[in-house]
Structure 1
Amino acid sequence: MTIKDVERIESILSDAGFDYQLELEQGSIIVTGPSDIVASEVSLQFASQLLNWVKPRRLGRVFDSAGGFILLALSR
């Protein structure tokens, strides 16, 4: 499986009206459902605290889960 495969499957699911998030982990697709209201609240509280710590100290940037990052493992 590649990232392009995951994107293709996500598109098919979205067109069919399913609200699933897909992750690619070691070549396998992991399907997760949308977050519930409690998880959303906890996530926002955590992000708020993190931003309040990082910003005044100019330590970097803080993003939410919609940032669309692709993490790559680098081997040595």
Structure 2
Amino acid sequence: MQKEVEIYKDLADIQGKHIPKLICYGYYGGGMSFVIGMTIAGTSLSEHKITKRQRSKALKGLEAIHKHGILHNDIREETS
């Protein structure tokens, strides 16, 4: 999870616009677990019909992430 925090720090200028804001992070239980708090949480998109507008917004967010030199590497129907 430390890697995810570092990535979110790199993406600070698009947090809240294209990706959820990182609001807190840290170790819990003497460093045994890592906790990340973000502004939104959701369910698998496979449970919902995605509109063209939502798909367009998702693609814009992914493009913004790519412009920061970060690749998601796990975009597929099961995770989107």
Same fold (TM over 0.5): no
- Alignment TM-score, normalising by the size of structure 1: 0.30
**Bigger share in helix:** 1
Q: Tell me the TM-score normalized by structure 2.
A: 0.29
Q: Please tell me whether Structure 1 or Structure 2 has the larger radius of gyration of its CA atoms.
A: 1
